[in-house]
Structure 1
Amino acid sequence: MKKLVGAGVFVRREPNDYVEQLRTGSMSVGTYSIPVGGVDDQSPHHEDEIYVVTTGRATLVTPSGTELVGPGDVLFVPAEEEHRFTEVTEDLALLVFFAPPYSGR
């Protein structure tokens, strides 16, 4: 058992901030923070992702559509799918679960 201290807490660093809190052989967990008005410049990942919005509001844009997101929302993005958070109207903090573990860009 391990308690993930600080997971899901917004951290203000410019332009964005990703901090990994856990890595195992099968998954990784981290917190992605985007400040109000920030630009999400991520590119597709090789891993499936689950995002849990802990604070803030934005729009998630994918080829299959857009979704307004806010606290408590849970989002699944399959590996290799283009996606981006836009219109960040409140400081956004997301718990991000990667499977397999995040390999970087």
Structure 2
Amino acid sequence: MKKLVGAGGFTPDGPNHFAEHLRTDSLSVGTYSIPAGGVDDQAPHHEDEIYVVTAGRATLVTPTGTELVGPGDVLFVAAEEEHRFTDITEDLALLVFFAPAYSGR
């Protein structure tokens, strides 16, 4: 068992901040933080992702649609799918689950 203390909390460390909390062969978990008014500059990933919004408000834009998101929302983004958080009106904190584990770019 492992307890992830502080996971999902907003971290004001630069324009965008990703902190990995756990890594196994099959998945990884981290927190992605984007400040209000910030720009999400991520590229598509090789892994499936689940985002859990823990704080803030924004819009998630993908080729298949646009969703307003806020605390408690859970979002699935398939591997290689273009996606971006826009219109970040409140500091945004997201728990991010990658499967398999995030390989980076």
Q: Deviations over 1:5-45 (max 9, x none)?
A: 11000000221000000000100000000000000000000
**Runs of at least 5 residues in structure 2 that lack an aligned partner in the other structure:** none
Deviation per CA, 1:40-98, whole angstroms, max 9, x where unpaired? Answer: 00000000000000000000000001000000000000000000000000000000000
Q: In the alignment, which residue of structure 2 is the partner of 1:5? A: 5
For residue 100 of structure 1, what is the aligned residue in structure 2? 100
CA RMSD of aligned residues (A): 0.4
Residue 62 of structure 1 corresponds to: 62
Question: What is the alpha-carbon distance in structure 1 between the residues aligned to residue 85 and residue 16 of structure 2?
Answer: 11
TM-score by length of 1: 0.99
Q: Distance in 2 between matches of 1:3 and 1:14?
A: 26
TM superposition score normalised by structure 2 = 0.99
C-alpha distance in structure 2 between counterparts of 1:20 and 1:11, whole Å: 12
Q: Percent identity?
A: 82
Equivalent pairs counted in the alignment come to: 105
Which letter does structure 2 place at the counterpart of 1:25? D
The aligned counterpart of 2:26 is 26
Moved over 2 A (4+): none
Separation in 2 of the partners of 1:59 and 1:13? 21
Aligned to 2:42: 42
**CA distance in structure 1 between the aligned counterparts of 2:61 and 2:53, rounded to whole angstroms:** 15
CA distance in 2, matches of 1:86, 1:17: 16
SS of the counterpart of 1:75? Answer: strand
